Structure formats: C-alpha cells, structure tokens
C-alpha cells in the first residue's frame, strides 16, 4: 500500500469511527489494519503475550472512546503508536518489579532458543534479543521503533514527543551497547 | 505494508551514518523469537470491540451517576446557603426590634423623668453603638434622639414657640 492509499484508508476509517451508525464497522477495519504492527510493537517492549494483549486492547479501546478528540494533526498510525507506547510506559511504571521480570523473561527467551538442539540461527537471535533487553527503557523503545518498525526519526519524534537529535543520540547509544554486548558474549 | 517505493522514499531521508548503524545488525534480521497463540489475531478484533462497548456503557452510567450526584450536591449547597442567609436576616431583624422596643420604653420613661432621660438616652446610645449603626433609622427613633439632646428649658421654649408662631403647624405646599 502506498502512502497515499494509506492516507485514504485512514481517512475512511476515521469517517466511519466518527459516524455512530458505522462506528463498530470502522473499529473492526481499524483493528484489521493495525492490530499486527501495534501488537508486535508492544510485545517487543513488554515481552509477555498476556501483557501485550491487554495493552493492545487498551490502546484500541482508547481510540474507540476518544476518536472525537483526534484532531488529525498526525497520521492515524502515529496516534495509535503514541497511545500504545504510553500504555507500555504506564505498564513499566505500574510493574515495579519489571526490571527483575525483564531479566527473567530475557533469560527464558534465551534459554528456550539456545538449548542443545537449537539451531545456530536461533541462538544468534536469542543473543540479539537479550542484548536489546539490557537497554534502558527509552533506548529500547527508540531502537525497536527504528530497527523493527523502520520508522523515520520525524515519525518517532511525533510518537515519543522528542527531538530528532535526542532520538538519534538514543539510537546511537543503544546500537553501541548492543554491539558491545554481542562482542562480550560471543 | 511497506512497498519498495515507500522504502526508497525512506532511504532518501536516511543519512549514511544511520544506514551504517542499521546495517550493523543486518545478520540478525527482523525476526523475533516470541510466539503468538493460534487464532489470536483472528479473535482479538471482536473481543476488543465488545470490551470497548462495555467500557463505553459503564462510563456512560458512571457519568450519569456523577452528574446526578453533582446536581444533588449543588441543590443541597444552594438550600444550605439560602437557609443560612434567611436565618441570619431574621436574627438581625429580631435584634433590631429588641433594640427599638428597648429605646422606645426608655424614651417613654424619660418623658416622666425629663432631666434624667437625657442622660439615660445618651448612655443607651453608648451601650448599643454597633446595633444602632446597623439599624435603619426610623422616624420615631430620629425624633427621640433629637429630643433627647435638648434640655428641659429648650423644650419649653420650643413648645411656647409652637403655640405662638402661626406658620409652624402649616403644612408645606
């Protein structure tokens, strides 16, 4: 889908969401288009499927309830990502033991994939994920958005309400830390 | 979702340093080790829609409840303020009536004891300055106060003048 087509579809979805008679159909269409990228964005941040499911649902419920307040000054997907990222940040704050939990989850992921019968590619993948999990929250969010979601710094700036230079710095530090981790654990 | 054309446009925005950084991890690919339960993406849309509608209903009910509570609280506050204002007003009126009757009786007594009355009226005025200042002066009060300031001789002279002067009793035209 080209950028223009995405804009057309988004505008159609918004029109449906703002029309009480077509709100439910519009919501289903919105979910159909964005549930996968939003889920994976959240899942890479919170790791657990249950948490990711809760946050995904909360994100779309927020959109359903507050669609009238969407001013249209950014793309629909930018708004969705912003809500989802804010929900993830809230989740981190709520879960005070998150750091410990993160460590356990990271080890679990690495353990599952780096067993005796695991393929080399899976071991490498697990090591890479563990390296990402070592990063501080902001750097991890920035790295994931840039690396996996392939967002531009301008789009990330709109989502995270940060300057481009700050995001570039965060990405640079994150990359350096990951590289160092991979070298140290080679 | 990202087409080659979109990718090309994105590439234009990248500076070479960013590209190098992205290429650093090319060997790891974009795959993640996380698993999703079977049929999760097929059922999540309907489930979320149901939850959203449920939340909307609960929120609507809560909003109505809070609006009712707010309206009841406002009415109670208005009633309380109104009651307080009315009570205070009645209290002021009864105070004034008491002071007025006190003044009246004192003035009547003073009519019998002319010389003493002048002094007592002044004392009474000193005792109740706050109450008197709050009260709106009535005609009888004003006359009593004026008369209390005159001596007996002056009053007698005024009475004689009233009898002798034919123009004093004449109404104004």
pLDDT in tens, A29-72: 999 999 999 999 999 999 899 999 999 999 999 999 999 888 88
> What pLDDT sits at residue B132?
46
How far apart (Å, rounded) are the C-alpha atoms in residues B145 and B131?
Answer: 15
The mean pLDDT of chain A is: 86
How far apart (Å, rounded) are the C-alpha atoms in residues B73 and B78?
Answer: 9
Give the model's confidence band at A16: pLDDT under 50 very low, under 70 low, under 90 confident, else very high.
very high
pLDDT in tens, A158-174: 999 999 999 999 999 99
Q: Determine contact, residues A167/A138, Cβ cutoff 8 Å.
A: no
Tokens read off for A71: 């001013």
Please give the model's pTM, rounded to 2 decimal places: 0.62
pLDDT in tens, A77-93: 999 999 999 999 999 88
How far apart (Å, rounded) are the C-alpha atoms in residues B63 and B77?
Answer: 21
A112 and B33 within 8 Å at the Cβ level: the answer is yes
Chain A residues closer than 8 Å to B29 by CB: 125
How far apart (Å, rounded) are the C-alpha atoms in residues A164 and A39?
Answer: 25
Q: Which residue has the higher pLDDT, A97 or A12?
A: A12
Secondary structure element (H or E) that encloses residue B136, with its range: none
> What's the per-residue H, E or C state across B61-85?
HHHHHHHHHHHHHHHHHHHHHHHHH
B49 and A112 within 8 Å at the Cβ level: the answer is no
> What pLDDT sits at residue A71?
81
Give Cα B17 distance to the centre of its chain. 64
How far apart (Å, rounded) are the C-alpha atoms in residues A31 and A21?
Answer: 18
Q: Which residue has the higher pLDDT, A150 or B116?
A: A150
pLDDT in tens, A128-160: 888 998 899 899 999 999 999 999 999 999 999
List, as one string, the DSSP characters of A68-94. GG--SSS-HHHHHHHHHHHHHHHHHHH
ipTM: 0.80
Interface test with A, best of B21, B50, B56 (most A CBs within 10 A): B21
pLDDT of residue B139 exceeding 60, the answer is no
Q: Which residue has the higher pLDDT, A23 or B7?
A: A23
Q: Determine contact, residues B148/B110, Cβ cutoff 8 Å.
A: yes
**Of A28, A65, A112, Cβ closest to residue B49:** A28
What integer is the mean pLDDT of B95-119? 65
């Amino acid at each position: 889908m080209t950028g223009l087509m995405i804009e057309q579809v988004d505008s159609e979805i918004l029109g449906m969401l703002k029309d009480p008679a077509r709100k439910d159909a519009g919501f289903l269409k919105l979910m159909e288009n964005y549930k996968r990228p939003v889920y994976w964005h959240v899942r890479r941040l919170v790791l657990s499927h249950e948490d990711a499911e809760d946050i995904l649902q909360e994100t779309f419920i927020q959109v359903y309830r507050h669609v009238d307040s969407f001013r249209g000054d950014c793309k629909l997907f930018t708004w969705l990502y912003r809500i989802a990222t804010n929900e993830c940040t809230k989740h981190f704050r709520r879960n005070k033991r998150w750091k410990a939990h993160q460590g356990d989850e990271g080890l679990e992921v690495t353990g599952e994939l780096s067993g005796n019968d695991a393929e080399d590619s899976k071991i490498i993948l697990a090591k890479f994920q563990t390296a990402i999990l070592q990063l501080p929250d902001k750097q991890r969010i920035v790295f994931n958005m840039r690396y996996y979601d392939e967002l531009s710094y301008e789009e990330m700036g709109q989502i995270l309400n940060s300057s481009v230079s700050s995001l570039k710095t965060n990405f640079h530090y994150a990359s350096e830390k990951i590289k160092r981790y991979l070298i140290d654990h080679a | 979702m990202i087409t080659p054309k979109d990718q090309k446009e994105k590439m234009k925005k990248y500076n070479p340093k960013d590209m190098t950084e992205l290429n650093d991890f090319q060997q790891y690919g974009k795959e993640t080790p996380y698993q999703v339960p079977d049929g999760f993406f097929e059922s999540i849309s309907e489930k979320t829609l149901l939850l959203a509608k449920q939340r909307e209903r609960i929120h609507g009910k809560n909003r109505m409840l809070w609006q009712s509570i707010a309206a009841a609280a406002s009415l109670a506050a208005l009633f309380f303020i109104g009651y307080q204002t009315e009570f205070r007003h009645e209290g002021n009126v009864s105070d004034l009536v008491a002071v007025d009757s006190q003044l009246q009786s004192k003035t009547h007594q003073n009519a019998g004891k002319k010389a003493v009355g002048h002094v007592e009226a002044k004392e009474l005025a000193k005792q109740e300055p706050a109450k008197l200042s709050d009260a709106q002066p009535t005609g009888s009060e004003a006359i009593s106060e004026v008369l209390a300031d005159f001596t007996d001789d002056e009053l007698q002279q005024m009475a004689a003048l009233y009898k002798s002067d034919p123009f004093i009793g004449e109404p104004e035209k």
